[in-house]
Chain A
C-alpha cells in the first residue's frame, strides 16, 4: 500500500527493484535522497514473510534483526557504529542483531568513506530509520490490543502494554507492521539521548570473530569459481607507456594463461599503461613477471626528482611566492619594528599510504555485465571510471564491497578497480588482480611533500605580531595548463593562524610534477598542523613564554572566528566558522589532564602540546617524551582530547581511531619518506620504507572526549594532525633540539 508521497528524486526503477525482491508482499523502503534526507516510500513484507521496513532493516518472523551497513569498512569501525545507531532507536538488543555489508546501490545514497563524513552524513538519518521502524511495530501492537500506541513501550525487541500486562515480540508483529502506513521520517519521535542503552557503550567490532579466525573478509580473500590470477606491470616512472614486451616468452612460462599489453591512459588516477599476466595462481603470475621484459617510454617525468624540486624551492624562497593566498596588514613593516624576529624552514617528503592489504580487486566480465568485488573506500567513482574507460553502461556494472585492509584515503582512488576491469574485459573468466608491495609503493597516490619558509615576530610583550609563510607545494597541470596542488597540498587562506594575526602573509608556489597524488588521512591538516604548531612553539620560546598560555592568547577571547567569504561568483557559500570556544575547551582540558605547567621534568624529558581543527573535529594533544643521551626517543604518554559533538557512538571504535592516529602520526614523523628520483619511487618495499614497530609505540595513550551540544561527527582523521607537533614540541622541551624535517630519524637528537 502506498502511504507516503514518493519524493520526485527517488528513482522509480530502484523502487520497483526493491519490491520485486519481496516474495509476493509489499516492501517498505526508505531511500536517502540527494539531500541526505530519509524518505518513506512503500511498505511490504520482505523475503520469507519478514518485515523489511527499509533498505537498512529487516526483521524476520522469528525475531531476527538484520541491519545493512552501507558504508565501506576500512578499519574505521563504521560497520559497527552506524548499525548501532539504528539498533538504539529500534530498541533491540545488540546481541540479536546481524550486520550485513551492502553492495553498491543507489538506494543507499552515498557510499563513500572519505573525509570522516560517514558519521556526520548518516547519523541523523539512521536515528530516524530505526525510530520509524520501531514506531510501526508499536502501532502494530497497539492495534492488536486495541490500546493507544502512546501507552506502549519497547525494550529488547518487545512491545509492552504495562497497564494490561501484555507484551509481544517484534517477530510476532512483523506481519501486521508490514501493512501499516509509514510514519513521516522527519517527524518520527526519537528517544531522548539520556535513555540510550547502546550508543555510548564500548562495542567490539562486528567482524572481529571473523578477523581473529582468519575467515574470508578482505578484497584479497575473494575467490570466485573458475577464477584466474593476474598481475599488472606498470612503468616504474609514473604513467610511462609500453613500447614493447616479450609477451611470447612470458606466455610460454609455467602456469601462464595469457599476457597482453594494455595501452591505458595518461590519467594519473585512472588506467595506467602496462602489461597484464594471467596465470593459474598468484605465484605463477608473480614468477612469470620476473621474466617479463618491457621497453618503456618513460616520458618527461623521468627528468623530475624530489631533490631537484627542493633545490629550486630553496632558490626561489627569497623571492615572493607565485600566489598570495592571504595578506592581512603589513608583515614587512611589522618585522622592522618587532622585538624579536625568527625564521625557520620546515620540510616534509612525499609519503605513501601503505595499507597493509596491497591494492587488489576481482572482476568478471560476464555476458555484458561487469561484476566487481572491490576493497574500495569510494566504489561509485570506480564504477564511473570503469564505465567511461571501457564504455560499459553504469547499470551493467555491479560492485560488491569487501572489507579493506586499511584505507587512509588510498582506496578513494579507483585505479586498481579500472585495472582489473580492463584486464577482465579481455579474459574469459573471473580475474583477481593482486598488486605486490612493490607495485603498491611505486604506484601509490602519494601524499605530497612540502616546504615552508617561515618568518614570525613577537613584540616587546611577547605577543605575536607578524607571520609569513612562503609555501612550496606539488601538483599537476590541469587541462587548461593551470597547475593545481595535489590533494592536501593546498594551504587554505583561512588556515590557522590566518585570521588571528594582524600582519599575516601566506604565499604558495606549486611545482608541476607529473606525479600521482591523492588524499592521505586528514589531507593537508596532517602536515600543516606540524609546521604551524612547531613554529608557534618556536615563537613562544623566543618570547620566553609558556606554550599553552601563548597559544591561548593567540586564540583570543572571541568564541567564533568567521570564515573568509568566498570571492564573488565562487560556487557555494562561506565555510563554517572556526569555533574558538570548542578549541579552547579541548586545549585547556588536555593541559589539565597532563598537569601542564605543574609537572617538572628532568633533562631529557619534556612535554609538548598542539591543537588542530579538521574534518569537523576539535582536537588538542599533549605528548610526554624521553630522549636518551644517545638520542633515542621514547614517547611516554600522549593525552588526546577531542570534541566531535554530542555523542561518541562507540567509544571503543573512537578510541581505536585516536590510538591509531597517534601511532600513525608518530610513524610518519619518525620514519616515512619516499625517495623519488627520475620520476619514480626508488624505495619500494618495507625494508626500504620502514614503519613504526611495537617497541616504538607510545607507552601510554589517554583518549578523552569532550561532549558538546553539536552534531555528531567522525573520528577517522581529526585526531592525527596534532600528534607530530605535540611530540616535536616535547622533544624540544626535553633536549632543546627542534625537528624541522620529516622524517625525524634524520635529526640528531643526542644531548649531553
Chain B
C-alpha cells in the first residue's frame, strides 16, 4: 500500500504493508535511523516520536493510522539552522548519555514535557519520563538535563 507521510515537515511516499509500524517505515524505508527499536511492544519508549506533538511509541503506531498527522522524529527536533533544541543542548552540556541508545526517546519525551510544563518539578519529571527506560542508568542526569533545558527555554515554545 502507498502512504504519504508528513515527517519533519517533509512529505514522504512509501509503499509498505498497512500493518507496518511507523518505527520500521522510518528506519528501513525512509532511512531515519534515529528512532530506536528496543522492545517492539510499547515498553521501553526508545522509539518515541511526536505525532501531532504528542509523544508516541512508533513501534505501536501502524503506518495506516498515521494519515496526515505531523510526525516529528529526533532528526527533526533541532532548528532548521542546525541550532539544537534546548533539551538536546542540555544533553550535550551535561554529558547525559552513556551508550546513548535510549536518548532519542528520552529527548523526545522531555521536549514535549517542557513545551507543556516549562518548569517541571522532580515529580513532574519522574511522571512524564516514567515509560522511558534507560538500561545504562542515566536517570539522574536526565532529571538534571531537563531542569537545565527548562532554564534555557524559559517558557519558549518547543516543537509542535
Contact = CB atoms under 8 A, between A and B. Distances in A.
Contacts of B32: 214
B135 A437 contact: no
Interface in A685-713: 685-687, 691-695, 697-698, 700-701
Contact of A204 (B75, B92, B142): B92
A355 interface: yes
A204 B95 contact: yes
B28 A205 contact: no
Contact of B35 (A214, A286, A356, A656): A214
A214 B34 contact: yes
Contact of B37 (A202, A434, A695, A701): A434
B151 interface: no
B99 A667 contact: no
A213 B98 contact: no
Contacts of B78: 213
Given A209-B92, A212-B84, A218-B100, 4 more contacts: A207-B100, A283-B16, A653-B95, A660-B98
A208 B136 contact: no
A664 interface: yes
A406 B142 contact: no
Nearest to A204: B95
17 contacts: A204-B93, A212-B107, A217-B100, A281-B28, A283-B17, A355-B99, A356-B38, A356-B46, A357-B38, A406-B136, A656-B138, A660-B136, A667-B137, A686-B43, A692-B139, A694-B130, A695-B126
B99 A659 contact: no
Contacts of A218: 36, 100-101
A405 B36 contact: yes
B137 A255 contact: no
Interface in B122-160: 125-127, 129-143
A693 B136 CA distance: 11
B2 to A, nearest CB: 15
A77 B41 CA distance: 30
A664 B104 CA distance: 20
B7 interface: no
B148 to A, nearest CB: 13
Contact of B24 (A204, A211, A283, A662): A283
A663 interface: yes
Given A75-B136, A207-B100, A214-B104, A282 B28 contact: yes
A212 B100 CA distance: 8
A677 B130 CA distance: 31
Top 3 closest pairs, chain A to chain B, by CB = A214-B34, A663-B137, A75-B99
- Pick the most buried of B129, B136, B140: most chain A CB atoms within 10 A of its CB: B136
Contacts of A281: 16, 20, 24, 28-29
Given A282-B27, A693-B130, A664 B137 contact: yes
Interface of A: 74-77, 202-205, 207-209, 211-218, 220-221, 223, 229, 254-255, 281-284, 286-287, 354-358, 403-407, 434, 436-437, 652-653, 656-657, 659-664, 667, 685-687, 691-695, 697-698, 700-701
B93 to A, nearest CB: 7
A282 B20 CA distance: 10
Contacts of A217: 100
B31 interface: yes
Interface on chain B toward A: helix, strand, loop, or mixed SS? loop
B73 interface: yes
Nearest to A254: B17
Given A254-B17, A686-B43, A697 B140 contact: yes
B41 A437 contact: yes
B101 A406 contact: yes
A701 B135 CA distance: 17
Contacts of A434: 37
Nearest to A700: B140
Contacts of B114: none
Contact of A656 (B46, B77, B95, B129): B95
Interface residues of B, number: 62
A208 B133 CA distance: 19
B91 to A, nearest CB: 5
Contacts, number: 194
B101 A694 contact: no
Contacts of A357: 36, 38, 99, 101
A406 B99 contact: yes
A75 B100 contact: yes
Nearest to A221: B33
A356 B95 contact: no
Nearest to A229: B28
Given A211-B97, A354-B135, A356-B134, A686 B140 contact: no
Nearest to A656: B98
B140 A214 contact: no
B102 interface: yes
A734 to B, nearest CB: 21
Contacts of B21: 283
Nearest to A208: B92
Contact of A405 (B100, B126, B130, B137): B100
B131 to A, nearest CB: 8
Contact of B43 (A213, A229, A659, A685): A685
A652 B96 CA distance: 9
B39 to A, nearest CB: 5
B103 A211 contact: yes
Contact of B75 (A211, A213, A287, A663): A213
B19 interface: yes
B126 A691 contact: no
Q: Identify the interface centre among B91, B107, B133, B141: most chain A CB within 10 Å of its CB.
A: B133
Contact of A283 (B20, B33, B91, B131): B20
Nearest to A353: B135
B74 interface: yes
Given A659-B138, A663-B139, A694 B100 contact: no
Contacts of B33: 214, 216, 220-221, 223
Contacts of B27: 282
B101 A214 contact: no
Contacts of A74: 99
A282 B17 CA distance: 12
Given A212-B103, A356-B44, A656-B141, A205 B36 contact: no
B53 interface: no
Interface string B57-98: 000000000000000011101100000100010011111011
A81 to B, nearest CB: 12
B5 to A, nearest CB: 15
Contacts of A663: 134, 136-140
Contacts of B98: 75-77, 406, 656-657, 660
B20 to A, nearest CB: 5
B40 A436 contact: yes
Nearest to B29: A281
A656 B141 CA distance: 9
Q: Which of B125, B126, B127, B135 has the most CB of A within 10 A?
A: B135
